[in-house]
Amino acid sequence: MQKILQWLTGESLPPGQFQTTFSLQGMAPGWALLLFLVGTTAIIWSYRVFTPEISKGRRVLLTILRVASFALIILFLLKPALSLRIEEPVRSALLVLFDNSRSMQIEDDRPNETDRSNAKLLAGIDKPARSALVQALAKNTSIDLFPKLAEVADLKFESFGSQRRSLGEPTMDQAGRMATESIAALTFEEESTALGDAITETLTQWRGTPISGIFLVTDGASNSGSDPLTASQAAALDRVPLYIYGTGVPQVRDLRVVSITVPPVSFLGETLEVRTTIKLMGYPSGTSTRLTLRSGQKVLGEKAIKPDAEPTEIVFQFVPEVVGPQELTLQADPLEGEVQTDNNKATTSVRIVDQKVKLLYITQKPGWDFRYITNTLKDDRRVEIKCHVIEGDREIQGDEGKIFLDALPDATALLAYQVILLGDVNPDALGKERMEALVKMVSDTSGGLVFLAGPESNPAAYKGTPLESLLPVDLDPVADPAAYALRSRDFLKVKLTPSGEDSPLLKLADSNTESLNLWKDFKGVRWIANHTRQKPTAETLVTAESNIPVIATQTFGRGQTLYFGTDETYRWRSKVGAKHFIRIWTQIIQSFALERLQGASDKIQLRPDKPVVFVGDIVNISGRVFDEDFKPLTAARLEGEFIREGTNDVPQPFALDLSAETPGLYAGKWTPRRPGSYVFVPFRDRKAVTRLEVRSRDNELLNPAMEKETLKTLASETKGSFLTESDLFKLPEMLKTTTATIPRRKTIDLYALWPLLVLAALLLSTEWTLRRLSRLK
């Protein structure tokens, strides 16, 4: 076949590097077939009718010659053509990417003899830093890597960390010198590694250029940007193999503090819980060390720990004694032979407050839930509770009127509360203006609204009212109000959803296992608002039979709403007293008032897009701002300043600009340059602060081990190779087998080939001669 195509094209074709496609460029095949059949029939008929005088054999021969000539004419009308896609080999590019991140400074211990000998083979010493191995790639004249690579491909040098940078494109005779200069220019100081982004961006930039492969020099510690596996799949689609030299070793000895978590806000004099996760690598399980929790120089707690290879959670508790921001540091004593000790500590911050949550409880009639909730919250020094009973005698509480309001607050007064509990209240008693104020309280001033269902109005009567949008559930019509209000004789069992199991609002114990067991033992309730369905925007935490939402929550604007589909939360007290009942309600109220507790006000509601950021990140700060009448502010800018708490730093001026589309919406961007706890203080109201924690990046040192398995997977996905020091000399030969090609197309008009024209002439002349010899016209 190849010889035939070479004869047709008149050129030499590379073996196996072409594809052929046959096509007809003239008359439609159907019409051609019809014309051939009609013409052939006419030829046969005419020779049989009009040539009786010649012999049968000669008549058949003349008929065949005429039909063959007619067939060639039909073939010319069809215009058959042959298209060739020829893959022509060209000199391709090898994209060389050097990891320039901080983790490349790690000096591996290399306990394995093979690892030590490989390192010595390349760098001349058995325990070099990873950066020294990269530098040795250019300096090692016995391997002579880059000059040999330049013989088979055009080299493109680049570095990557948080960003990708070009280092140059040497010619063949410059490859060794430029490789040395490019690597010498690397700082190995970048704070993160975006391996996936580096691969993807490189493929994008050089798309259209023949690429024989990407040569990656990295330890695989990808900790920002896109997923490297996704990037390798893109490389596989582009038929670009990844050849990866993995610096470092997969097994290191290290103890690291993986994380430290603490609530963003806690109360003065209340026990604060600090959780940290510790992971041990390369040491025997049970290796002991000491973990210390500090605030500044003050030691808050110490524990002797014995972590293992699986992440181990350690819990500290202490009682804050000072109001304000507090930076907490957890540090583990270093172990002998650790490859990296910078990851032995982690820091976070918490704000200690000594202020009360302003809470309003509105109910139509005082029921059991109302009695127990008010009695619980009025004794909580962190809550300033006010109540209003629309129908009924408040004296039944025995509270002497201290927490009760004589009248229902008007729409403006409602906006001053941070959390509102709404019992089984008739919407007519609230009125449209108050209901619209409740919507605003949640969406615009970051308030929290809790719906406590009841058999008369909440939530059934709220369909079609402004409150319907706040509900986390959709409402079905109640056909029979009497049946709807009827309580079951048997307990209706409820259960946590997966979201409920993880929700901090519903924790009944410090241990997650213990909390789940307590929920399983809960007997249930005797009444549930069963004409409800979860809204798509909501999250259900507790359900009853047929997945009816019993507890559900949703974010609405800047605030949050919570729905209780029963009026029997007091049953949490059954047989165990108030401890579970108090815990859940305390968790709910603190969570819903969180933003106000951090310093936000009811008129200035700003927040960062991320509460914890790193030095150098861009922080977006935005939110709604209202004037004294709760109307959107119209000033062009909201001026203020950033203050780094606990320091004598000069405040940094900062301003947010008014949105042209949304009244009262302000936004601005800020880039922190130093770690610490910051507050943005608007000059308009210096109490309406916005808090932000800025941390130093240490992602590069969190996991010092080389991600060998990840790198091998990336290479195999693209039909490339994972290389060790002893494999590097093979790379030039590997590239020779992946010669790049450029496609070229060539079309051969088969109907115009001279053999067909000669054949047509031969057939026609032969028929003409025989007809003359047979004395036919």
6 vs 534, higher pLDDT: 534
The reply to whether omega before 29 is within 30° of 0 (cis) is no
Check if the beta carbon of residue 448 is closer than 8 Å to that of residue 399.
no
**622 — pLDDT class (breaks 50, 70, 90):** confident
SS3 state of residue 687: coil
- Assess whether pLDDT exceeds 90 at residue 94: yes
Strand partners, 543: 495, 549
Range ranked top by mean pLDDT from 238-242, 293-297, 733-737: 238-242
Higher model confidence: residue 290 or residue 616? 290
Domain borders along the chain are: 2-89+745-773, 93-251+705-739, 254-353, 357-597, 604-698
How far apart are alpha carbons 642 and 691 in whole angstroms?
A: 10
Does residue 740 carry a pLDDT above 90?
A: no
Specify the CATH superfamily of domain 357-597: Class I glutamine amidotransferase (GATase) domain (3.40.50.880)
Q: For 682-718, how does the pLDDT look when each residue is reduced to its tens digit (9 = 90+)?
A: 999 888 888 888 876 666 666 788 889 999 999 999 9
Give the separation between CA 382 and CA 385, rounded to whole angstroms: 10
pLDDT score of 4: 64
Mean predicted confidence (pLDDT) in 126-146: 91
Comparing 60-74, 355-369, 457-471, 742-756, which segment has the lowest mean pLDDT?
A: 742-756
Contact in structure between 224 and 161 (CB atoms under 8 Å): no
Residue 75: closest CA among 759, 746, 747: 759
The fraction of the chain above a pLDDT of 70, given in percent, is 92
In degrees, rounded to 5, the angle at the alpha carbon of residue 377 between the alpha carbons of residues 376 and 380 is 100
Least confident among 52-61, 219-228, 630-639: 52-61
Residue 759: exposure state from Cβ atoms within 10 A (0-12, 13-18, ≥19): middle
pLDDT band at 635 (very low <50, low <70, confident <90, very high): very high
Least-confidence region, from 78-87, 575-584, 736-745: 736-745
* Residue-wise DSSP of 272-332: EEEEEEEEEESS-TT--EEEEEEETTEEEEEEEE---SS-EEEEEEE---S-EEEEEEEEE
Task: State the CATH class of domain 604-698.
Answer: mainly beta
Write down the pLDDT at residue 300.
Answer: 92
Q: Do domains 93-251+705-739 and 254-353 have the same CATH topology?
A: no
Q: Which residue has the higher pLDDT, 111 or 186?
A: 186
Average pLDDT over residues 759-765: 83
Residue 448, pLDDT > 70, answer: yes
DSSP code of 745?
Answer: E
Q: How far apart are CA 314 and CA 160, in angstroms?
A: 36
**590-620 tens-digit pLDDT:** 778 765 666 556 678 787 877 678 777 788 8
Q: What is the pLDDT of residue 13?
A: 58
Which tens digits make up the pLDDT trace of 228-272?
999 999 999 999 999 999 998 887 888 888 878 787 778 888 788
18: confidence class by pLDDT, cuts 50, 70, 90 = low
Of 112, 128, 147, 312, which Cα lies nearest the Cα of 219? 128
pLDDT single digits (tens) 559-588: 899 999 999 988 887 666 677 888 888 888
The rounded distance, in Å, linking the Cα atoms of 546 and 544 is: 6
Report how far residue 574's alpha carbon sits from residue 757's, in angstroms, rounded to the nearest whole number: 103
Q: What are phi and psi of 140, to 5 degrees?
A: -75, 105
CB atoms within 10 A of CB 773: 10
Class of domain 254-353: mainly beta
Strands 665-670 and 495-496: unpaired
Across the range 627-643, mean pLDDT stands at 89
Residue 463: which residues within 8 A CB-CB, separation 6 or more? 475, 477
- Which CATH entry fits the domain spanning 93-251+705-739: 3.40.50.300, 3.90.1200.10, 3.40.309.10, 3.40.50.410? 3.40.50.410
High-pLDDT (> 90) share of the chain, % = 33
Is 618 in a helix, a strand, or coil? Answer: coil
What the block records as the tokens of 504 is: 């901090």
Q: What's the rounded Cα separation, in Å, for the pair 203 and 198?
A: 9
706: Cα within 13 Å, side-chain hemisphere: 27
pLDDT score recorded for residue 8: 59
pLDDT digits (tens, 9 = 90+) for 409-428: 999 999 889 999 999 999 99
pLDDT at 7 over 80: no
pLDDT tops 70 at residue 104: yes
Answering whether pTM is above 0.75, one says: no
CB environment 691-713: b (16+ within 10 A), e (fewer): bbbbbebbbbbbbbbbbbebbbe
Predicted local confidence at residue 347, as pLDDT: 82
Highest mean pLDDT among 221-225, 250-254, 274-278, 678-682 belongs to 678-682
Q: What is the mean pLDDT of residues 619-646?
A: 87
Q: Is the pLDDT of residue 365 over 50?
A: yes
Per-residue model confidence (pLDDT) at position 396: 44
Residue 261 sits at the vertex; the CA angle it makes with 259 and 267, to the nearest 5 degrees, is 160
Q: How far is CA 604 from CA 228, 245, 420, 427, 683, in A?
A: 42, 54, 19, 29, 11
Please tell me the predicted confidence (pLDDT) of residue 575: 65
- Angle at which helix 708-717 crosses helix 228-237, to 10 degrees, equals 20
Q: What is the pLDDT of residues 149-175, one digit of tens each?
A: 999 899 999 999 988 999 999 888 888
pLDDT for the residue numbered 150: 92
Digit-coded pLDDT (tens) for 649-684 = 899 999 999 988 888 889 999 988 888 888 899 999
β-pair partners for 637:
657
